Amino acid sequence: MPRTPTGGAGSGTAPTGAPLMSIGAVLGRLREEFPEVSISKIRFLEAEGLVVPGRTPSGYRKFSVEDLERLARVLRMQRDHYLPLKVIKGHLDALERGEDVSLPGSRRTPPGGAGARDGREPGPVTAPRIGREELLAAAGAEAEALAAWEAYGLIVPLPDGGYDAEAVTVAKLVSELGGFGLEPRHLRVMKAAAEREAGVVEQVVAPLRRHRNPQTRAHAEATTQELSDLFARLHAALLRSALGAAPH
């Protein structure tokens, strides 16, 4: 349920006595580090349960300092580690329980790294990769199963023979679906649909990636992630609708 500001309805103070902030004020604070963030992005993260701001009696959002810090942490995990929102939420929940959380290596170029020393714009940073045995262990699968997944294009190895972090998620899901008797050949339609959706996203972000302004090009990545999450939510909603409309 939505929270209400502590200290009396509409009091405008957080539990620590710090003033609560409007979504516009939060946006201004976040843009100091994340110039590409938008109000729609903050609302999207709220809809995904990554932050739960308080509400005034008239329904306006009011964010605490803790909410601001949580949003900044979410955005850093997306930017620096390229983690999907479900994984980020799991990490945040674990941190709140006092558990240690291990994140994959940062994909950002460190200060003073290649490109920074000679004044050039840093090049692309390679996302974390894993080996074949690590992928099999994470998915709890046999080599024969992985070979079949690759044969149907569900998992595609990188040029160096490794796999990106998303391959682990795909492998686990394909393995679980196999428990229901679904074979890789049954899942080709999902692969084809994902590729078509990726093409639509690319049409939107391609002009941003070609822009001369580095901040605009950086915004392309955030836009890609946001569109990807929206497509996933739409797909899930359409699937539920189709199943609900199916004859029993």
What is residue 52's predicted lDDT score, i.e. its pLDDT? Answer: 92
- The CATH code of domain 23-96 reads 1.10.1660.10
pLDDT at 8 over 70: no
Question: Residue range 129-143: average pLDDT?
Answer: 84
Looking at residue 4, its pLDDT comes to 41
pLDDT of residue 224: 83
| pLDDT tens for each residue of 27-69 | 999 998 888 788 888 988 898 889 999 998 888 899 999 999 9
pLDDT at 13 over 50: no
Q: What is the mean pLDDT of residues 17-36?
A: 86
Instruction: Please tell me which of 13-17, 96-100, 169-173 the model is most confident about, judged by mean pLDDT.
Output: 169-173
Q: How confident is the model at residue 245 (pLDDT cuts 50, 70, 90)?
A: low
Average pLDDT, the chain: 78
- Lowest pLDDT segment from 25-29, 67-71, 96-100: 96-100
Chain segment 211-236, per-residue pLDDT in tens: 777 777 777 777 888 888 888 888 88
- Tokens representing residue 218 in the block: 């950086």
- Residue 164 above 60 pLDDT? yes
Residue 22, class by beta-carbon neighbours within 10 Å (0-12 exposed, 13-18 middle, 19+ buried)?
middle
Q: Is the pLDDT of residue 9 over 50?
A: no
Contact 114, 159 (CB under 8 A): no
Residue-range domain boundaries for the chain: 23-96, 128-182, 194-248
- Reported as a single tens digit per residue, the pLDDT across 189-205 is 888 888 898 888 888 88
d(CA 226, CA 121): 25
Task: Please indicate whether residue 137 or residue 120 has the higher confidence score (pLDDT).
Answer: 137
pLDDT at 39: 86
pLDDT band per the 50, 70, 90 thresholds, residue 149: very high
Query: Residue 102 burial (CB < 10 Å; 0-12/13-18/19+)?
Result: exposed
Write down the pLDDT at residue 51.
92
Q: For position 81, what pLDDT does the model report?
A: 76
Give the pLDDT band (50/70/90) at residue 89.
confident
Going by their DSSP bridges, the two strands 129-130 and 163-164 should be labelled as antiparallel
Q: Any residues with CB less than 8 A from the CB of 148 and at least 6 apart, and which?
A: 183, 184
Check residue 12 and report its DSSP letter.
-
Whether pLDDT at 178 is above 60: yes
Enter the pTM of the model. Answer: 0.48
